[in-house]
């Protein structure tokens, strides 16, 4: 007659058998638990039967295996829904402008009026209320050409524009400029503020790094970097 030592855990036997196969499903592991438990009950010593606590422990282990399997299936379903949602949102951004972390502003010339400047927008991500917000725009040599006092501002993401002129009202030369920000509260303590640069979404790319927005000459960025969509 086949005997099973009642002190031998079905968990240990199940895991030992699971390790012998190249692959095993959670359902298969659960079936092994049940089979081993039944065998253990059938062959236990009548004079020293399994106690209720032991039986409850074995059943709890079976329930745990099933619960882990169900949780895994649920997480896979949620992950799939998130991927589909992100893909749809990314495609809807094609042809629209976005604000992402960055400090660059581009200045160009209006084709119909050489005296006018075409400047890409920029933004600020102000992470707390500030009593004073000051924006500085510098040229390629690091010299500040324009200082903009924004005064008191509430926390939030702001879309801003620069007319392409210096503090004296003179139009700056076409090229790339850099934006910096200084924000302080009522006690003159620094408030966290991040400068945002503009990019136009040309296409959506699926890479090993996940879903990426192709901004053309401005490179690629993650969906998670987008602070604001501001349209075409």
Q: For residue 2, what pLDDT band results from cuts at 50, 70 and 90?
A: very low
Q: For residue 167, what pLDDT is reported?
A: 95
Region class of 64: left (phi > 0), else alpha (psi between -120 and 50), else beta: alpha
Tell whether the model's pLDDT for residue 49 goes beyond 50: yes
What average pLDDT does range 7-20 have in this prediction? 43
Tell whether the model's pLDDT for residue 173 goes beyond 80: yes
Q: Based on the domain organization, do 73 and 106 belong to the same domain? A: no
Q: What is the CATH number of the domain that holds 190?
A: 2.60.40.4070
Range among 165-169, 184-188, 214-218 with highest mean pLDDT value: 165-169
Q: Based on the domain organization, do 85 and 112 belong to the same domain? A: no
Count the neighbouring beta carbons within 10 Å of the beta carbon of residue 108: 13
What is the residue range of 214's domain?
A: 97-231
Which position has the higher pLDDT, 126 or 231?
Answer: 126
**Which of 41, 64, 92 is at the close of a domain?**
92
Distance CA 161, CA 106 (A): 11
Q: Where are the beta strands (DSSP E) in 120-174?
A: 122-126, 130-138, 144-153, 156-160
Distance CA 206, CA 220 (A): 11
Q: Based on the domain organization, do 123 and 206 belong to the same domain? A: yes
Q: For residue 189, what pLDDT band results from cuts at 50, 70 and 90?
A: very high
Averaged pLDDT of the chain: 77
| pLDDT digit string, tens, across residues 106-134 | 999 877 777 778 999 999 999 999 999 99
């Amino acid at each position: 007659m086949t005997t099973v030592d009642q002190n031998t855990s079905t968990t240990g036997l199940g895991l030992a058998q699971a390790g012998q196969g190249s692959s095993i499903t959670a359902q298969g592991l659960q079936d092994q638990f049940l089979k081993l438990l039944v065998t253990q009950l059938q062959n236990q010593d009548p004079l020293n039967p399994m106690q209720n606590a032991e039986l409850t422990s074995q059943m709890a282990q079976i329930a745990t295996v099933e619960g882990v399997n169900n949780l895994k299936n649920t997480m896979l379903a949620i992950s799939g829904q998130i991927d589909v949602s992100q893909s749809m949102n990314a495609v809807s951004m094609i042809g629209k402008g976005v604000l992402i972390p960055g400090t660059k502003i581009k200045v160009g010339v209006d084709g119909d009026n050489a005296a006018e400047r075409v400047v890409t927008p920029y933004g600020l991500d102000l992470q707390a209320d500030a009593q004073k917000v000051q924006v500085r725009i510098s040229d390629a040599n690091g010299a500040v050409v324009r200082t903009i006092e924004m005064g008191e501002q509430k926390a939030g993401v702001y879309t801003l524009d620069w007319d392409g002129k210096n503090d004296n009202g003179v139009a700056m030369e076409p090229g790339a400029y850099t934006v910096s920000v200084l924000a302080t509260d009522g006690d003159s303590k620094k408030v966290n503020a991040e400068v945002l640069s503009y990019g136009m979404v040309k296409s959506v790319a699926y890479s090993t790094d996940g879903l990426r927005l192709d901004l053309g000459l401005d490179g690629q960025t993650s969906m998670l970097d987008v602070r604001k969509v501001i349209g075409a």
